[in-house]
Chains A and B, each alone.
Chain A
Amino acid sequence: MTTTTTAGRTRPGYDDLPRLMWLMTGDEKHTAAATSTLDVIWVLYDRVLRVAPEPGWLPDRDRFLLSKGHGPMAYYAVLAAHGFLPEEWLAGWGRFDSPLGYHPDRNLVPGVEISSGSLGHGLPIAVGTALGLRAQGLDARTVVLVGDAELDEGSNHEAIELAGALALDRLTVVVIDNRSSTWNRPGLIEGRFSHEGWEVVTVDGRDHDALERALHSSTGRPTAVVAEVEEKS
């Protein structure tokens, strides 16, 4: 399925994502179902975030921070589908002369807000970003994507506590929960956030409408959306 943009140009749709990801991996197994983050990132860019490629890269744009920088194929595919980067870049990913690495670099890839890869940095940076936007009176959201195992990094808990205490209502964390954390147990993630005063919504991470509803929830508190996907996907 392709979508016609307001400029009359057609741009790739959700159904094109496997093809775009195949350009990077050459691996047919990297379909939507095999990539834990794909549906969340697609819904964010397609239905939620107020962002656009240059020249729409404005101070009051919404910020999407991919903290879980591992396996960024879905991210690159969505950015390509939305015109942030040319499709031609995808095939060379990971090579010396490619701007697309196995972890994304904001200084190399248009549309990428943070360089990530080392776990436990995106959420603390997102708290600073939300504070910076608030201090400047900019009405923009900050959405950060983390993995359930990534939440084991203690640095996240420093951020969860402060965001809750300061009621950063324009901050949203999406936790991709594929139960890859070694010591995971039911309710652990929800408990961590709700204990610190966050709004917590758990949804099916493949259900676009449910994700959209959860990502639009507004309660005057920071929001954690736990997006459940297949185990270890």
Chain B
Amino acid sequence: MSDPRQTFARAATALLDEDPSVALVYAEISGQFFADAERSHPDRVINVGIREQLLVNVGAGLALTGMRPIVHTFGSFLVERAFEQIKLGFSHQDVGGVLVGSGGSFDAASAGRTHQAPGDVALIDTLPGWTVHVPGHATEVEDALRLAVAGSGRDYVRVVSQQNTEAFPVRPGRFHVLRRGAGPTVVAVGPVLDAVVAATGGLDATVLYASTVRPFDGRGLREVLSGPEVVLVEPYLAGTSSRVVSDALVDVPHRLLALGVGAEELRRYGTPRQHVAAHGLDAAGIRASLEVFLGQSTRLARERSSART
């Protein structure tokens, strides 16, 4: 399987070759992958150095002249450090651009909290109209980037090392229905899919897959809903999409379990896999949370029926 970050760099390089309106702005990070692109397009590949506020606003300035900027560094510095630049440089100016943040919640597990950005999607989500791609496979990284660059809107592409075994077509606004069942509906976002599939084995569940989480396919969720139980599994801050599920199901009685990265700081190093497990996002953790949640449903149903008799 290809490495998602290298796939991003290759795809960005190809896009620079193909389209003279594309520019790449980066801040040292991933520079090891961009030497060829920099040689071929010295005017359109700009390393601003370790200057993230400048990184984002240079992207905005390029967009103001009609170019399509790809703006890249670690998600922690891109979205969290330079958030006001995203808000004002892109949203308030009302210009388009493609932000690509790597590292996600815990690619840099051993580097500690400074390099981890589980809150990136929640922050972007405070701004309307952004398309948020959470690819779960290197192929989806390339497809999402190509789709984003071909458009004219504001896109955030979250590139992380964790991958699923299978890639799905990238189609913003429409989730993939992987399984239909009479029980809970589980929405797996990006790289958590394999764990969700394993965790729901033997359960009569519906499983949806989203590699693009904004726009959120609320209509698709409503269409497949067969019971009141909805489960979100997201690879970033738990509950990030609770609000949009609530909006989609405002007139539908439902219960929501929102799994994701805990807000509490873990203060552990180690590997991404260990962080996945620590946040209960491996198959065993998701299964355990599901059983508690569904057990509550059974108990609630029993209480309701005994109250009637």
Q: Identify which of residues 142-160 in chain A touch chain B, using a CB-to-CB cut-off of 8 Å.
A: 154-155, 158-159
A-B contact pairs, 26 of them (CB 8 A): A106-B94, A113-B64, A115-B88, A124-B57, A125-B60, A125-B61, A125-B64, A125-B93, A127-B58, A128-B25, A128-B63, A128-B64, A129-B62, A129-B65, A131-B23, A131-B62, A132-B23, A132-B64, A132-B67, A138-B65, A155-B53, A155-B54, A159-B54, A161-B51, A162-B51, A162-B58
Decide yes or no whether B270 CB sits under 8 A from chain A: no
Residues of A with C-beta under 8 A to B58:
124-125, 127-128, 131, 162
Q: Contacting A121 at CB < 8 Å: which of B23, B25, B63, B88?
A: B88
Decide yes or no whether B128 CB sits under 8 A from chain A: no
Complex Cα–Cα for A128 and B53 (A)? 12
* Secondary structure class of chain A's binding surface, majority of residues: helix
Decide yes or no whether A114 CB sits under 8 A from chain B: yes
Residues of B with C-beta under 8 A to A138:
65
**A to B contact number (C-beta, < 8 Å):** 101
Indicate the size class of the contact surface on chain B.
20 to 34
Known contacts A115-B88, A118-B88, A135-B23; A128/B43 CB under 8 A: no
Decide yes or no whether A176 CB sits under 8 A from chain B: no
Task: Count chain B CB atoms within 10 A of each CB in A132, A136, A162 and give the residue with the most.
Answer: A132
> A121 to B46, Cβ gap below 8 A?
no
* Minimal beta-carbon separation of B122 from chain A (angstroms): 22
Decide yes or no whether A130 CB sits under 8 A from chain B: yes
> A121 to B54, Cβ gap below 8 A?
no
Decide yes or no whether A175 CB sits under 8 A from chain B: no
Q: Which residues of A contact B (CB under 8 A)?
A: 59, 63, 105-107, 113-115, 118, 120-121, 124-136, 138, 154-155, 158-159, 161-162
> A158 to B65, Cβ gap below 8 A?
no
Residues of B with C-beta under 8 A to A158:
48-49, 51, 53-54
> A115 to B53, Cβ gap below 8 A?
no
Known contacts A59-B66, A107-B94; A129/B51 CB under 8 A: no
Complex Cα–Cα for A105 and B62 (A)? 18
Known contacts A155-B57, A158-B48; A106/B65 CB under 8 A: no
